[in-house]
Amino acid sequence: MMEQLEEKCFLDESETILNKKAVYEPTKGQRFRQVVCTRGWAIATLMMTGTVLVGVALIAAFARPAMAPCEVSVAGDNSAALAASAAAGGAASSESSSSKHDKEKGGEEQTYVATNGEPFPWKELRLPKTLVPQAYDIFLHPNISRSEFSGQVEMILRVMEETDAIVFHVNELNISNVAVHMGKSNTTFSQALAIVKQLEYKTNQQFYVQLAERVSAGSFLKVVVKFSGELKRDVMDGFYQSSYTVNGEERYMASTQFEATDARKAFPCLDEPALKATFKLSIVREKKHISLFNMPLMTSEPYGESPNLILDKYNPSPKMSTYLVAFIVCDFKNVSALTRAGTLVRVFAPEDKIYMGKYALDAAVAVLENYTSFFGLPYDLPKADLIAIPNFEAGAMENWGLITYRDTAILYDPAISSQDSKKWVTQVVAHELAHQWFGNLVTMDWWDDLWLNEGFATFVEFLGMDVVDSSFQGQNSLSMESVSALYKDSLINSHPIKVPVKNPAEIASVFDSISYEKGAALIRMLESVLGKSSFRKGLKNYLTENAYGNAVTGDLWRAWQQVSTVKDLSVSEMMDTWTLQMGYPVVSVAWDSRTLHLSQERFIRLEKKDPEPEKEDFKSPFGCTYLTFKLHFLLAMWEQTGFFSLVPLPDGVDGDNVLWLKGNKDLNGFYRVNYDAKGWKKLTDQLKKDHTVFSVSDRIGLMEDAFCLAMAGHLNYSVVLGMVEYMSRETDYFVWKTVLPHLDFLSQRLLLEEEYDLLRDLALSVIRPRLEALGWSSAGDVTTRQLRKSVIQAAIDYEDQASIDRATDLFAEWKKNQNYSMNNELRYVAYQAGVTYGNKDDWDLVYDRYMDSNVASDKEHLQLALGTSRDVRVLQILLQYTQDSSKVKTQDSAQVVRKVARNRNGLLLAWRFLRQQWDLLMERYGVKSAIIRRMVLIVSNFNTKFDLDEVKEFFKDKELGSAARPLHQSVELIESHVVWSEKYMPEVKSWLQKNRRRR
Ligand code: BES
Ligand code: ZN
């Protein structure tokens, strides 16, 4: 399950309780509709004469103590589920203000002393509102061979309030000169202004210019700043360089990564997302290079004395945020195509890799064309470039018109890459293109609303993916994403979607699965409530109204409210309960002959004995963590009368004859559903008899809920393990992808117990039928091939000897002949088996091929396989290689360490390594580094109190920056593992004893 804590770019892993009482009473018409079920249910109804099916989709919304009537939803309708909180009144403020009590790096109170020892007058992290930028004209002269750059930026600022000070952002740049002119318009700046003081305050990455006179509101300033900086290697933010090899020759390129707060590392600027302006660029390059910018090239001319230098000048951009600016100097080649609307789309990569850009190019064209109609607005720039960056921290970055990608997220070689790789490329392309509208055209006002960008792009990426190839099954993929967010949001160390953030480390820390997957899940939930047509209409209005500007979450709700045709729905009241407090409910469902009993409580993975006081930051604005839910279309009356919602069953429905009842239809709602023993029994019987009456998303939901409810003590393991038995007939990839990590969770816990073998036998007993049906061929569509890979890998993980033999045979063939035509799905399986069951020579061979490989996805497979050795010596060597970027690129160092930590022979080595390297890593990558954020996750593999104490002790006094939350979540997971072993292990063991399988 650890993967589920992973950040977005590595997709692969007590509270006060307020009892609520309510009664739902449906009207006759509504009762009638309640039994009009989904197709699956209808069929089942016909088959089971004498039984009545009641399909109910519940949806939960957080609500304040004072309840009022709510909306209701029933399955089988397109709008599936409707949640409307009964809450009324003011939502929490969207503004996150800077505090006067910010902490300096070491945790000391901030002193606000500038680099020259003088007091720094501006004491806020946010810039003053006195000046607003209008236009930037940037000149840059990068010198790649000397790893440096110099430049000049001309900023046109509008004076909003009278002032004598200019504050802008700058980080790790040397500022050599500042000049300020004033003008009455933004084109003529006749009056030079004297500067009294220039101060830099590194902690807040700010520069302060004190003018000799005050400038009045309505006038304009032209601020010209000369600067220089280092073009760093091995860091992956600001303006930095990467190296790559073409035919054995090492080459260098320079590119940018600004989101969230690193534009200020490349040029002085007012680096906040709401401070939008136009950008012009002139950039010097060598003749052998090209340059790229958000906008098309205007002119190229010789530069200075050197015959080797060219100055490229670019068209000005539309109004946009600083974090979306990008420029690149490289010698890449491109492939290109035009969309129907005439937009030029190009994919750039090193010359020996450019053939692998064709797939992304076709995908990008298809997706762009589709989004134009989906968003109802054209793509706004004349061109869209997509480029593979050799060293890149995230998966990809949506810079407007110049989207940068990690090589594995854009390059696809049909002859070698796997279906997983094809899907990932499609998904990332679709995600970043969604941002061109959602994020770039309309941008969140501040980072506390990051989810607007990322949640929405995540929601849309699954639509875009299906445009390229519907066999990716975008909606089922999105269900998987929701499930991973449900998992993460069940931790006490989760956070509300909208979260106050101030400094760069806090901002970096919200790029996580709450902003992405929970955000996407909530948008899907709302779409199901509004209906597709209103959803799209509202979206278009939102984009049109806010184009080239900024928005807060409330603006989106308002846009949907205006087009909503759902009676009595207050979009913001409903959605605020989901976005302003963390967590979500588990809805318990039971029924007797006449009535449905529904109750709800917050679902928490690990109930603490002594609940910690709710974190101040995350206090629920609703004053409670209890929830209210509604049954869509079933609504008639709502009363607060008891602990439960009692819903009379429709006329003619006898509860005693209900075949089964399944809540949260198609996983459209962001909550879990629990049933009583009878309810689970009926569902299990149906799964075993014919699981296909449930949709794939419903099966994902059932299995995921069952496992997670058991993990948290809400359900007996005997129920869940009984349900697992049906998996021997499950043929769906997504359901397997849900269940396998849960079996893995059990095997991680039972690994050192005698009963491990029994668990293994259970796992293999359900895996084997799939294994036999799928074989080892490369036949089938995308998900069949993905499933084959997953079950073979699982069989090997559970030490199925026949599978191990077959995989090691494949490895042996490949060892003999590198060009051996291998089933691409099985490459990783073979490499891994070769390394795990091979010797040091095998490891060396895989290492050599890894170093030589030209295909990013295959290189990654080879690299990760290295971490699966059982030889601690090579694992230690591999850990050391992560600190040498000629062996493991910095972008990959965390994933390699994590791979070693997932290996039972490597966990302690990796933990020791992390501790040894901690100070160095922090110094090298800094407090907002994603590398560190990813590395700390390794501790979540621990199981025991001893390890828990050790982890706590080590991190006690450490400055964690953006790794704080991932660490706290990992610690919570270890705690949950300790509790699990105490509380639930005996039950699992005894079930396994009683239900032994044949091997
Ligand atoms: N805006 C992000 C890139 C980013 C992430 C910038 C973290 C700064 C910090 C981009 O749109 C993104 O979300 N990329 C994903 C890929 C996507 C398919 C989810 C990523 O990098 O993993
Ligand atoms: Zn994104």
Query: What pLDDT does residue 103 have?
Result: 54
What number does the ligand 1 atom closest to the CA of 508 have? 9
403 CB within 6 A, ligand 1: no
User: How far does the centroid of ligand 2 lie from the alpha carbon of residue 670, in Å?
Assistant: 21
Could you say which ligand is closest to the alpha carbon of residue 398? 1
Query: What pLDDT does residue 819 have?
Result: 82
Mutate to test the pocket of ligand 1, among 397, 481, 515, 932 (most ligand atoms within 8 A of CB): 397
Q: What's the CA gap between 483 and 893, in Å, rounded? A: 27
What number does the ligand 1 atom closest to the CA of 11 have? 22
**Two structure tokens written together for 198:** 């220039």
271 CB within 6 A, ligand 1: no
460 CB within 6 A, ligand 1: no
User: How far does the centroid of ligand 2 lie from the alpha carbon of residue 442, in Å?
Assistant: 14
Residues with CB under 5 A from ligand 2 (ion): 454, 457
Residue 183 confidence (pLDDT) above 50: yes
What number does the ligand 1 atom closest to the CA of 393 have? 21
435 CB within 6 A, ligand 1: yes
Could you say which ligand is closest to the alpha carbon of residue 259? 1
User: How far does the centroid of ligand 2 lie from the alpha carbon of residue 8, in Å?
Assistant: 9
3-state secondary structure of 772: helix
Q: Is the Cα torsion angle 813, 814, 815, 816 positive or negative in sign?
A: positive
Going by CA atoms, what residue is nearest to atom 22 of ligand 1?
9
Residues near 93 by beta carbon (within 8 Å), at least 6 away in sequence: none
Going by CA atoms, what residue is nearest to atom 10 of ligand 1?
397
**Two structure tokens written together for 523:** 């948008």
What number does the ligand 1 atom closest to the CA of 430 have? 18
Instruction: Express each pLDDT in 550-560 by its tens digit.
Output: 999 999 999 99
396 CB within 6 A, ligand 1: yes
**Pseudo-torsion of CA 932, 935, 936, 937, nearest 10°?**
130
What number does the ligand 1 atom closest to the CA of 7 have? 22
pLDDT band at 108 (very low <50, low <70, confident <90, very high): low
767 CB within 6 A, ligand 1: no
Ramachandran angles phi, psi of 834, nearest 5°: -60, -45
**Which residues are registered as beta bridge partners of 250?**
245
**Two structure tokens written together for 733:** 């990839």
Mutate to test the pocket of ligand 1, among 13, 236, 255, 259 (most ligand atoms within 8 A of CB): 259
Going by CA atoms, what residue is nearest to atom 5 of ligand 1?
394
**Two structure tokens written together for 252:** 């260098």
What number does the ligand 1 atom closest to the CA of 457 have? 11
Half-sphere exposure of 764 (CA within 13 A, CB side): 19
The whole-number average pLDDT for the span 407-435 is: 97
Query: What pLDDT does residue 323 have?
Result: 98
**How far, in Å, are 481, 485, 582 from residue 6 at the CA level?**
12, 10, 18
Q: What's the CA gap between 494 and 513, in Å, rounded? A: 10
Query: What pLDDT does residue 607 have?
Result: 72
What number does the ligand 1 atom closest to the CA of 428 have? 18
Query: Buried b vs exposed e over 245-284: b needs ≥16 C-beta within 10 Å?
Result: eeeeeebbbbbbbbbbbbbbbbbbbbbbbbbbbbbbbbbb
Residue 888 confidence (pLDDT) above 50: yes
Going by CA atoms, what residue is nearest to atom 17 of ligand 1?
428
432 CB within 6 A, ligand 1: yes
8 CB within 6 A, ligand 1: yes
Instruction: Express each pLDDT in 422-462 by its tens digit.
Output: 999 999 999 999 999 999 999 999 999 999 999 999 999 99
User: How far does the centroid of ligand 1 lie from the alpha carbon of residue 705, in Å?
Assistant: 28
Going by CA atoms, what residue is nearest to atom 1 of ligand 1?
397
Neighbours of 745 (CB within 10 A): 17
Ramachandran angles phi, psi of 333, nearest 5°: -105, 170
Query: What pLDDT does residue 663 have?
Result: 87
Instruction: Express each pLDDT in 65-81 by its tens digit.
Output: 222 222 222 232 222 22
Please say if 104 is a catalytic residue: no
Residue 698 confidence (pLDDT) above 70: yes
In order, the DSSP letters of 79-139 are T---------SPPPPS--PPPTTPBPTTSPBP--B-TTSSBPS---SSPPTTEEEEEEEEE
Query: What pLDDT does residue 9 have?
Result: 34
397 CB within 6 A, ligand 1: yes
Ramachandran angles phi, psi of 488, nearest 5°: -70, -35
Going by CA atoms, what residue is nearest to atom 3 of ligand 1?
397
CA-nearest of 612, 637, 562 to 22 is 637
DSSP 650: P
3-state secondary structure of 25: strand
The whole-number average pLDDT for the span 642-647 is: 49
pLDDT band at 289 (very low <50, low <70, confident <90, very high): very high
Q: What's the CA gap between 144 and 240, in Å, rounded? A: 9
Query: What pLDDT does residue 426 have?
Result: 98
User: How far does the centroid of ligand 2 lie from the alpha carbon of residue 882, in Å?
Assistant: 27
Let me know if 540 is exposed, middle or buried by CB neighbors in 10 A (0-12, 13-18, 19+): middle
| Angle subtended at Cα 734 by Cα 730 and Cα 735, rounded to the nearest 5 degrees | 40
pLDDT band at 635 (very low <50, low <70, confident <90, very high): very low
Question: Would the annotation count 454 as a binding residue?
Answer: yes
pLDDT band at 20 (very low <50, low <70, confident <90, very high): very low
Q: What's the CA gap between 88 and 469, in Å, rounded? A: 43
State what percent of residues in the chain have pLDDT above 90: 77
The whole-number average pLDDT for the span 347-375 is: 97
428 CB within 6 A, ligand 1: yes
What number does the ligand 1 atom closest to the CA of 9 have? 22
Ramachandran angles phi, psi of 814, nearest 5°: -65, -35
Length of the chain: 999
Higher pLDDT, 65 or 597: 597
Least confident of 223-232, 406-415, 475-484, 816-825: 816-825
Going by CA atoms, what residue is nearest to atom 21 of ligand 1?
395
Going by CA atoms, what residue is nearest to atom 8 of ligand 1?
259
In one-letter notation, the amino acid at residue 79 is S
Residue 974, Ramachandran bin (φ over 0: left; ψ between -120 and 50: alpha; else beta): alpha
Give the pTM: 0.90
User: How far does the centroid of ligand 2 lie from the alpha carbon of residue 489, in Å?
Assistant: 19
Least confident of 116-120, 254-258, 345-349, 588-592: 588-592
User: How far does the centroid of ligand 1 lie from the alpha carbon of residue 304, in Å?
Assistant: 39
What number does the ligand 1 atom closest to the CA of 431 have? 18
826 CB within 6 A, ligand 1: no
Residues near 608 by beta carbon (within 8 Å), at least 6 away in sequence: 14, 492
Could you say which ligand is closest to the alpha carbon of residue 454? 2
Find tokens 């109804």 and name the residue: 45
Neighbours of 111 (CB within 10 A): 10
**Two structure tokens written together for 920:** 């160095």
User: How far does the centroid of ligand 2 lie from the alpha carbon of residue 825, in Å?
Assistant: 27
Contact 500, 615 (CB under 8 A): no
The whole-number average pLDDT for the span 225-238 is: 96
User: How far does the centroid of ligand 2 lie from the alpha carbon of residue 408, in Å?
Assistant: 16
Rounded to the nearest integer, the mean pLDDT of the chain is 86
Going by CA atoms, what residue is nearest to atom 18 of ligand 1?
428
**Two structure tokens written together for 251:** 């080459």
User: How far does the centroid of ligand 2 lie from the alpha carbon of residue 497, in Å?
Assistant: 15
Higher pLDDT, 934 or 32: 934
230 CB within 6 A, ligand 1: no
444 CB within 6 A, ligand 1: no
6 CB within 6 A, ligand 1: no
Q: Is the peptide bond before 87 cis (omega within 30 degrees of 0)?
A: no
Ramachandran angles phi, psi of 240, nearest 5°: -135, 170
Contact 585, 671 (CB under 8 A): yes
3-state secondary structure of 452: helix
DSSP 666: G
pLDDT band at 656 (very low <50, low <70, confident <90, very high): confident
CA 740 to chain centre: 21
454 CB within 6 A, ligand 1: yes
Mutate to test the pocket of ligand 1, among 480, 511, 514, 517 (most ligand atoms within 8 A of CB): 511
Instruction: Express each pLDDT in 270-286 by its tens digit.
Output: 999 999 999 999 999 99
Going by CA atoms, what residue is nearest to atom 6 of ligand 1?
259
| Angle subtended at Cα 697 by Cα 695 and Cα 701, rounded to the nearest 5 degrees | 115
431 CB within 6 A, ligand 1: yes
Find tokens 């506390």 and name the residue: 448
3-state secondary structure of 602: strand
Least confident of 342-356, 406-420, 562-576, 899-913: 562-576
Residue 217 confidence (pLDDT) above 50: yes
Residue 101 confidence (pLDDT) above 80: no
Let me know if 497 is exposed, middle or buried by CB neighbors in 10 A (0-12, 13-18, 19+): buried
pLDDT band at 107 (very low <50, low <70, confident <90, very high): low
What's the order of all strands across the beta sheet hosting 327-330?
A: 232-233, 238-246, 249-257, 327-330, 290-293
3-state secondary structure of 375: helix
Of residues 7, 13, 432, 972, which has the active-site annotation? 432
Parallel/antiparallel/unpaired status of strands 383-389 and 297-302: unpaired
User: How far does the centroid of ligand 2 lie from the alpha carbon of residue 275, in Å?
Assistant: 20
SS3 annotation, 917-956: HHHHHHHHHCCCCHHHHHHHHHHHHCCCHHHHHHHHHHHC
